[in-house]
Amino acid sequence: MASACSSSSSNRSTLERLPNSQIRILRTVESVRRWRRPHTLDQRMVALVPTMGALHEGHLSLIRAAARENHHVVVSLYVNPAQFGVREDLSSYPVTWDADAEALVKLDRELADDGNNLGRISAVFAPTTPEMYPGGFPGQEVDSKGSFVTITPVGEVLEGKSRPTFFRGVATVCMKLFNIVQPDRVYFGQKDVQQTVVIKRLVRDFMIPAEVVVCPTARAEDGLALSSRNVYLGERRRPVSTVLYRALRAAEDAYNAGARDRETILAAATKVTDDVLAEQMALAPEKRVRFEVDYISLADPDNMEELSTVDPVKGAILSGAIRMLPVEDPQPGEDLGHSGGPLVRLIDNIIIPPSA
């Protein structure tokens, strides 16, 4: 007897895939659920690597780690408006679908050729905003009304202080992604260390049955942490932008030399930022680069609260954020960076590991 209930079904011969690959392109929640179901029954391990696209080697390192340990890797590509503040760079955030597709297909071939992997990239989840926010996008204002996940107080300090809607947006979209993909493991980069603390809280407090895996920060040769936002820097600001990493390394050196108190450790970082800024300000306006330090922090690795002294048994997180200001006096033909070289906020961190 025919069922009175209706359901939509897909034509399996028209499954969308990335060019020259087996990687499925999934655009709807329903298509992910349909893809996921047999892997639950077969007890295959599914990993999720959430990204906002504009893929670089940092993202690819997470996918490599996921493929080593899981049968299937799902990469989400979604620029989540909820984690951008009203005055932030949502409209100019680099969207590079073709290059991302190419990078994923190339990486998937590399994974196939390397015998050490359990899995490959099985699918890309690239939803639209109406798909992710079925009740309508609630807006980017601090007091926007809607269904949000907030993780406090850890989401309110440091990055959360400078960007008050950021972790609410991240936690909300990750909760959605985790519910859609139902991954066994989720992969995040240490580059966004406070985000990893927020996500671990989310998983713990909402009993999400996934393991959170944190992978090391991928860096350029000069130490700059890879970031999708580095394309905004342009040729003048790019070399100076290593100042944050150099400052954090100096603070780490002070710790390794025996300092345990906040003043001594952070003074080493501040000396680097002060010296570099002084060097730059001695140059002519058409040559120099200006930046502002947003914060440099020495925090508890469990909750990101500021420490006055480091307990070596627990370790600590050294982190910071700087604002690279737009260049003065742009010169004819100067490469100013993506979108004309706007203000770029860069973050980085170094973990002081707990002693054995």
Min dist. Cβ of residue 22 to ligand AMP (A): 23
Q: Are strands 72-77 and 211-215 parallel, antiparallel or unpaired?
A: unpaired
Residue 62, token pair as written in the block: 């997470």
What are the residue ranges of helices labelled H in the chain? 29-41, 57-69, 97-113, 129-132, 159-162, 166-181, 193-205, 234-240, 243-256, 262-281
Min dist. Cβ of residue 56 to ligand AMP (A): 7
Min dist. Cβ of residue 283 to ligand AMP (A): 29
Q: How far is CA 230 from the centre of its chain?
A: 13
Min dist. Cβ of residue 180 to ligand AMP (A): 17
> d(Cα 32, Cα 26) in Å, to the nearest integer?
6
Active site residue 71: no
Residue 311, token pair as written in the block: 């307990």
Provide φ and ψ at 153, rounded to 5°. Answer: -85, -5
Which one, 225 or 310, has the nearer CB to ligand AMP?
Answer: 225
Catalytic-role residue among 59, 71, 72, 338: 59
> d(Cα 250, Cα 32) in Å, to the nearest integer?
46
> d(Cα 123, Cα 72) in Å, to the nearest integer?
8
Which one, 18 or 218, has the nearer CB to ligand AMP?
Answer: 218
Q: What letter would DSSP give residue 52?
A: -
Which one, 171 or 327, has the nearer CB to ligand AMP?
Answer: 171
Which one, 187 or 291, has the nearer CB to ligand AMP?
Answer: 187
Q: How far is CA 255 from the centre of its chain?
A: 27
For residues 291 and 274, is the Cβ–Cβ distance under 8 A? no
Min dist. Cβ of residue 19 to ligand AMP (A): 22
Min dist. Cβ of residue 215 to ligand AMP (A): 6
Which one, 62 or 181, has the nearer CB to ligand AMP?
Answer: 62
Which one, 225 or 268, has the nearer CB to ligand AMP?
Answer: 225
Which one, 22 or 96, has the nearer CB to ligand AMP?
Answer: 96
> d(Cα 228, Cα 48) in Å, to the nearest integer?
19
Angle at 322 between CA 318 and CA 327, to 5 degrees: 155
Min dist. Cβ of residue 61 to ligand AMP (A): 6
Q: Looking at beta carbons, which residue is closest to ligand AMP?
A: 189
> d(Cα 63, Cα 79) in Å, to the nearest integer?
18
Contacts with ligand AMP, residue ranges (CB under 6 A): 51-52, 58-59, 61-62, 188-189, 191-192, 215, 217-218, 225-228
SS3 of residue 112 by DSSP: helix
> d(Cα 108, Cα 118) in Å, to the nearest integer?
12
**Active site positions, annotated:** 59
